[in-house]
Structure 1
């Protein structure tokens, strides 16, 4: 009698199968970001099982940040496990981690830069990342604490294209961390337990170990799932707003000397939420700068509360009202 597939194994494989479906029969390569923890090992094992069924090749990359004693051994062990899954190309890359933005942000920046480079070298069409529902819930809470708006509260996207056309896919984003742990147990996979995941110097760990348990105790179970649903709904709203902004910008934006200009009348005719998004979008697209809410509101006053005020200095540019236009210029007066 055939042994029944463990539910956790079935869930993870199904999620990976659905994520790979858009690439089926393309002969493409997909790159798995493999840390050696339970989430990424479950992802790698499921990808190695599912990808060949639809004509895809899997490669893996383990990034050694060099931040812990024995990190090189951990990385090599993860690569060896990938080969045991049937992943023939299992790369290990050592990176130098800077200090900008703190240790978490610096490590993330170094890791993603390495993954982008490896994906290009391996001609991969997509990078698979092992974030789970729990990671999404933590991301939403951190965004809420920063007060960074709906774009941050919408969390991580399950499928996104970067500027180079590389797909970043998170197949496990609707599954709990406990599911990946059960997958590894059922599959006989010995996962590495990263000491940084319980180091409360890091804000994400404090959210995981302190904040979410308190919310569960005080408000009842299901908080992580509720935060995940919130992210899903807000991401749908963000996508809708993005489409509206793209359509609107074509009609109200024009090139200006050393920058770009937006029609005052058109901005004024839009509701505040859309007006503010247009301002942020224009500055980000033209100058690569993300405006804070306070900065956005100050620019919006050039439209709604115009009293002859002078130019506003912003990161990387300057905003000023000139006749019927709000002009964003790289040159400062």
Structure 2
């Protein structure tokens, strides 16, 4: 399909072409296609710029007629010139709420069907701005407001510098009719209210350019975080010792020297602790978890361990301090003095 040379079409093609050149992952890609304007525009631009494109359409089966929507998206993908189009029905669970459960099911389906290809996602600058605001509200540090990465293997996001209005204009220029997901207008979802109420208000009060400013902030923080993570990795290597010294067969093999950690700047120390906890099996770490474990290093008064998410059935994963070292082990129960 030959694309018209409108400003919207050229902007998207330039964004996709730049992403492909920067990451040099070969001539074939997969695209996650929902049928909405963002993913439709991305699919068409990818067909024009990549050697071959496979469309992956996830049917969450959450709304009546979802199979028909998915089938229409698949047919459109083939019409646009995709090499293949695959509909992936999924069962969405309930853990963490519908949004989180649907996201988990979607990414699992895409990962299982991509056959080694990078998967392009239609996240735009507007999505990035909303993500930064959500992270800011959580208050869990710079990592939560660095937004989405342009490439976090296998997920690629070529449109993080493109506004949502441009993808809609792109579809209009091609005569494409996007699917309008009713969930995108439902005020019960926080992201929808950000999109419909908060961001427009900020644009009005601050005189415009808010989405772009938030996008730049995310990019700068991501660059800073990359450097800090590298330095924290060096600190973790120096502070580490293995195997564990707890005598517990369920212990994490690596313990950390509290003395070494205590001499490091807070930003590096907490990043090192976070990486160590994640490597030991911790899940859904919060700022509260990190602060409590950090106090085992910097404010040691004989307090008990800190229970962090990630325990196995019937156990808790607990970070503690023994003989001047941080330890991590599964325990059968929360011991007296332990915190969650």
Q: Is TM more than 0.5 here?
A: yes
CA distance in 2, matches of 1:80, 1:291: 42
* Residue 288 of structure 2, aligned match among 261, 284, 294: 294
CA distance in 2, matches of 1:112, 1:217: 35
Q: Which runs of at least 4 in structure 1 moved beyond 3 Å after TM superposition?
A: 22-27
* Residue 139 of structure 2 corresponds to residue 152 of structure 1: no
**Structure 1 residues 24 and 289 mapped into 2: Cα distance closer, same or farther (>3 Å)?**
closer
Unaligned runs of 5+ in 1: 162-166
Which residue does 1:89 correspond to in 2? 84
Question: Structure 1 or 2: larger helix share?
Answer: 1
* Residue 265 of structure 2, aligned match among 259, 271, 283: 271
CA distance in 2, matches of 1:280, 1:289: 11
Conservation of the 8 A alpha-carbon contact between 2:293 and 2:306: yes
Q: How much does 1:150 deviate?
A: 1.3
* Residue 188 of structure 1, aligned match among 136, 155, 175: 175
Q: How much does 1:178 deviate?
A: 0.7
> In structure 2, the residue corresponding to 1:107 is in which secondary structure?
helix
> In structure 2, the residue corresponding to 1:92 is in which secondary structure?
strand
* Residue 63 of structure 1, aligned match among 58, 63, 75: 58
Conservation of the 8 A alpha-carbon contact between 1:30 and 1:124: no
> In structure 1, the residue corresponding to 2:178 is in which secondary structure?
coil
Q: How much does 1:34 deviate?
A: 0.1
Conservation of the 8 A alpha-carbon contact between 2:4 and 2:174: no
Q: How much does 1:277 deviate?
A: 1.4
* Residue 312 of structure 2 corresponds to residue 309 of structure 1: no
Paired residue total: 318
CA distance in 1, matches of 2:23, 2:230: 25
Conservation of the 8 A alpha-carbon contact between 1:284 and 1:290: no
**Structure 1 residues 75 and 270 mapped into 2: Cα distance closer, same or farther (>3 Å)?**
same
Q: CA RMSD in A?
A: 1.7
**How does the TM-score come out when normalised to structure 2?**
0.89
**How does the TM-score come out when normalised to structure 1?**
0.91
Unaligned runs of 5+ in 2: 312-316, 336-340
1:272-326 per-position Cα deviation (integer Å, ceiling 9, x unaligned): 1211111111101111424322222222222212222233333332122222211
Aligned counterparts, 1:4-15, within 5 A: 5-15=5-15
> In structure 2, the residue corresponding to 1:287 is in which secondary structure?
coil
Conservation of the 8 A alpha-carbon contact between 2:232 and 2:269: no
* Residue 110 of structure 2 corresponds to residue 115 of structure 1: yes
1:211-262 per-position Cα deviation (integer Å, ceiling 9, x unaligned): 1111112222111111111111111111111111222212211220521310
